[in-house]
Chains A and B, each alone.
Chain A
């Protein structure tokens, strides 16, 4: 008898209207589709393969940063340092290649380590230090940028090994490598956030930290790992950024990336108060921002005006998602 009821409930769950499910979970996907339709009507070039590849490559760096940001925002925190971490990790990568002549893989590992360590420090400041995430990562933002600037005297470090530039510029089966990295990162983030115990704990801590503590969750560990993931994605972003030009500009690389990443996560449906957000939502948020700026470029709208549209989109996204 009880088994029969269980079966009944299971089928009911499965037979739920999947369209309705999509609308509830990813209403931002519909916004993206509408935007794409408009874009393709307004500009004949939009739907060309070259243009779409272009859009994807342009969003890949901020997109990867947004994935890490999603973890931190669902946790109820924020990471303002990702743009600067990108610059600092990039400096580590380029400097180790140029000044210390390390091999490319070693320099990449060092860059990724740099991101992880800064994430660890951010996490420790938030947990042990009990500093508000906003303040802690604001401090880290200026520190990381300053270290990069000091090392290169505010200039650029250019690489000597042209193989490294392939990461950012080469194609595999006609797809740019940055896009492939982005897709892999989306897949990995999705698995970690939605299919693992750790991911579930991120939602729990962001939703109600006190209840999480009373449910056998180590709030401390979950928080630190999340900030480390965020630092790691910033470092992955820096690999692409530096290899694109085989150079890092310590004064301009990564500027404002943190704000674009936060915007993408929020458009994707996450809530800054924590406990809500999806990886695919963030992906769609990233694409909306990318398609938007691409369309405006195609239509020759002044780049100075694009900020207005971006701002309006953010406000509209938040208003639309405020359904309960």
Chain B
């Protein structure tokens, strides 16, 4: 046995994310790890690659007990990791990137450039690529960069290779090339840990499959004969929906109608309607086009074709400003980057989008502003010392509530929520669900894009499933199951 993990346990701030997980890897084997977001896959990878150390449990390499306190130690032990986002320096050449930190030396002092180039070229050729090693990495496409990352891993003569969703940004042709590379590694006796959301790949290249759910080991078995339906059942497990408020069934008049909306390479033929008091969910795998659709609806990017009708009137937004004037609101998936003004107080974060509506002229009526902010604080139960506290000092869940509150103050009628509960704890999640529920009861419309299936099922009146930029399934609340959503999102016929 090349690698064996016994009873690995890891918790962050009292939340157990890995609970006595066992795992093993043989030489020349591709072992897939599957599971939903938050199942513990990435934590497991972190423990093996030395980013984190386990709280409990043992790691055996070739039967010897080892500790992996750092990524450097992991590399020394022959463990290489290819991350989802490639860790390359864009302004360096391919060769420099491959040998970063381990440059061959001339007289032990200078970088031996010619040797470095030669070696880099050899490795790239081995992978079936003919880039010039002095090409700058920033001039490569994403998938080519992925190849460089793999070359970097190979150059270290690794024995265990961890691939975290390596095909997420690859075209089909490039995937095939990657799979051929994987075959080569296997024949050389390298053990590969393969993490993916794409179930189709499991049958093609993997020997064994391990499924994790909520930090626990569910099953390990041969990939051969393990069909996708079965895999989905194991990934999903039994349902958890007790903390959701009742789903709105009665809906009002039509708010929004989208006809044939499309944007090249992102989504096509999007048709749907949204009514007052309705929560419409969008499900899909990471790159299925849901986020891009949310941005397009909000005027953040222009669409190529199709039209949007808002209260039966055709609208076309050239900027989010126009969308907000039509009473749209967007809660972005990345609140640090596209939501918060971290140096500003909570109150100002709340009122920033509503200032023009609250004040007739340029002058701000501070009393009115404060009272609007406080209304939102009370309605959302935002926990803080006082409204003048800077938002950066709040917890993630409370920050997210402020992001909701911004549209409350702006009096929005449509809320577009892109991963609204990303990175916040369960308690705060339930509170946000209640907020969503209350808003919907006031007749607002909600569009929720989420990769958390139980959330969509628990919240939404209807769920639209996207796969490769198209809506492939529409599921009413009473028929929604994780199995059905997952198979549609994976592109399987249901």
> A residues within 8 Å of B by Cβ?
2, 5-6, 9-10, 12-13, 16, 195-198, 200-201, 203-204, 207-208, 210-218, 275-276
CB of B387 within 8 A of CB of A211, answer no
Name B352's contact: one of A2, A200, A276 (CB within 8 Å): A200
CB of A6 within 8 A of CB of B371, answer yes
Using Cβ atoms and an 8 Å threshold, which residues of chain A touch B352?
200, 204, 212, 215, 217
Using Cβ atoms and an 8 Å threshold, which residues of chain B touch A207?
341-344
Nearest CB to that of A13 among chain B residues?
B386
CB of A10 within 8 A of CB of B370, answer yes
Task: Kindly provide the distance from the CB of B443 to the nearest chain A CB, expressed in whole angstroms.
Answer: 21
Nearest CB to that of B356 among chain A residues?
A197
Further pairs besides A13-B370, A197-B355, A208-B337: 20, Cβ < 8 Å: A6-B378, A10-B370, A10-B371, A196-B364, A197-B364, A203-B344, A204-B341, A204-B352, A207-B344, A208-B341, A211-B337, A211-B338, A211-B339, A214-B298, A214-B338, A215-B353, A216-B320, A216-B324, A216-B410, A276-B343
B325-345: contact bitstring with A at CB < 8 Å (1 yes, 0 no)? 100001010000111111110
Using Cβ atoms and an 8 Å threshold, which residues of chain A touch B410?
216
CB of A214 within 8 A of CB of B320, answer yes
A218 to B355, CA, bound (A): 13
Name A216's contact: one of B300, B321, B378 (CB within 8 Å): B321
CB of B363 within 8 A of CB of A195, answer yes
Contact of A216 with B356 at beta-carbon distance under 8 Å, contacts A9-B387, A195-B364, A198-B362 already known: yes
Asked whether B275 is an interface residue with its Cβ less than 8 Å from the other chain, the reply is no
Name A208's contact: one of B320, B342, B353, B370 (CB within 8 Å): B342
Nearest CB to that of B366 among chain A residues?
A195
Using Cβ atoms and an 8 Å threshold, which residues of chain B touch A195?
363-364, 366
B91-118: contact bitstring with A at CB < 8 Å (1 yes, 0 no)? 0000000000000000000000000000
CB of B364 within 8 A of CB of A6, answer no
CB of A275 within 8 A of CB of B355, answer no
Using Cβ atoms and an 8 Å threshold, which residues of chain A touch B370?
10, 13
Instruction: Please provide the chain B residues from 427 to 481 with a CB less than 8 Å away from any CB of chain A in the complex.
Output: none
Using Cβ atoms and an 8 Å threshold, which residues of chain A touch B353?
215-216
Contact of A213 with B320 at beta-carbon distance under 8 Å, contacts A10-B374, A196-B362 already known: yes
Nearest CB to that of B386 among chain A residues?
A13
Using Cβ atoms and an 8 Å threshold, which residues of chain A touch B340?
208, 211
CB of B362 within 8 A of CB of A216, answer no
Sample 28 A-B pairs with CB under 8 A, ordered by A number: A2-B378, A6-B371, A6-B374, A9-B377, A13-B370, A13-B388, A195-B364, A195-B366, A197-B363, A200-B352, A200-B364, A203-B344, A207-B341, A208-B342, A211-B337, A211-B341, A212-B341, A212-B352, A213-B300, A214-B298, A214-B330, A214-B332, A215-B353, A216-B320, A216-B324, A216-B325, A216-B356, A218-B319
Using Cβ atoms and an 8 Å threshold, which residues of chain B touch A214?
298, 300, 320, 330, 332, 338-339
Asked whether B73 is an interface residue with its Cβ less than 8 Å from the other chain, the reply is no
A5 to B381, CA, bound (A): 12
Task: Kindly provide the distance from the CB of A95 to the nearest chain B CB, expressed in whole angstroms.
Answer: 35
Using Cβ atoms and an 8 Å threshold, which residues of chain A touch B135?
none
Using Cβ atoms and an 8 Å threshold, which residues of chain B touch A10?
370-371, 374
A197 to B351, CA, bound (A): 11
A16 to B356, CA, bound (A): 29
A204 to B371, CA, bound (A): 20
A276 to B321, CA, bound (A): 24
The interface on chain B, measured as residues whose beta carbon lies within 8 A of the other chain's beta carbons, has a size of 38
Contact of A275 with B374 at beta-carbon distance under 8 Å, contacts A9-B386, A197-B355 already known: no
Asked whether B359 is an interface residue with its Cβ less than 8 Å from the other chain, the reply is yes
Using Cβ atoms and an 8 Å threshold, which residues of chain A touch B159?
none
CB of B324 within 8 A of CB of A215, answer yes
Name B344's contact: one of A204, A210, A218 (CB within 8 Å): A204
Using Cβ atoms and an 8 Å threshold, which residues of chain B touch A276?
343
Using Cβ atoms and an 8 Å threshold, which residues of chain A touch B332?
214
A209 to B278, CA, bound (A): 32
Contact of A196 with B321 at beta-carbon distance under 8 Å, contacts A211-B338, A214-B332, A214-B338 already known: no
Task: Kindly provide the distance from the CB of B461 to the nearest chain A CB, expressed in whole angstroms.
Answer: 26
Task: Kindly provide the distance from the CB of A55 to the nearest chain B CB, expressed in whole angstroms.
Answer: 32
Using Cβ atoms and an 8 Å threshold, which residues of chain A touch B300?
213-214
Asked whether B208 is an interface residue with its Cβ less than 8 Å from the other chain, the reply is no
A2 to B374, CA, bound (A): 10
Using Cβ atoms and an 8 Å threshold, which residues of chain B touch A201?
355
Q: Which of B352, B356, B362, B410: most chain A CB closer than 10 A?
A: B352
A195 to B320, CA, bound (A): 25
Nearest CB to that of A6 among chain B residues?
B374
A9 to B338, CA, bound (A): 29
Nearest CB to that of A207 among chain B residues?
B341
Using Cβ atoms and an 8 Å threshold, which residues of chain B touch A212?
341, 352
Using Cβ atoms and an 8 Å threshold, which residues of chain B touch A16?
386, 388
Task: Kindly provide the distance from the CB of B372 to the nearest chain A CB, expressed in whole angstroms.
Answer: 11
A233 to B387, CA, bound (A): 34
Instruction: Please provide the chain B residues from 385 to 443 with a CB less than 8 Å away from any CB of chain A in the complex.
Output: 386-388, 406, 410
Asked whether B213 is an interface residue with its Cβ less than 8 Å from the other chain, the reply is no
CB of B341 within 8 A of CB of A213, answer no
Name A210's contact: one of B321, B337, B375, B378 (CB within 8 Å): B337
A204 to B362, CA, bound (A): 16
Task: Kindly provide the distance from the CB of B369 to the nearest chain A CB, expressed in whole angstroms.
Answer: 9
Contact of A13 with B362 at beta-carbon distance under 8 Å, contacts A208-B342, A211-B339 already known: no
Asked whether B348 is an interface residue with its Cβ less than 8 Å from the other chain, the reply is yes
Contact of A13 with B387 at beta-carbon distance under 8 Å, contacts A2-B378, A214-B332, A216-B321 already known: yes
B239-261: contact bitstring with A at CB < 8 Å (1 yes, 0 no)? 00000000000000000000000
Nearest CB to that of B338 among chain A residues?
A210
A14 to B75, CA, bound (A): 58
A270 to B371, CA, bound (A): 28
Task: Kindly provide the distance from the CB of B292 to the nearest chain A CB, expressed in whole angstroms.
Answer: 15
A289 to B339, CA, bound (A): 37
A217 to B330, CA, bound (A): 14
Using Cβ atoms and an 8 Å threshold, which residues of chain B touch A197?
355-356, 359, 362-364
Using Cβ atoms and an 8 Å threshold, which residues of chain A touch B341?
203-204, 207-208, 211-212, 275
Name A200's contact: one of B320, B324, B348, B375 (CB within 8 Å): B348
Task: Kindly provide the distance from the CB of A24 to the nearest chain B CB, expressed in whole angstroms.
Answer: 10
A251 to B298, CA, bound (A): 52
Task: Kindly provide the distance from the CB of B135 to the nearest chain A CB, expressed in whole angstroms.
Answer: 26
Using Cβ atoms and an 8 Å threshold, which residues of chain B touch A6?
371, 374-375, 378
A275 to B352, CA, bound (A): 14
A106 to B127, CA, bound (A): 74
Q: Which of A12, A195, A208, A276: most chain B CB closer than 10 A?
A: A208
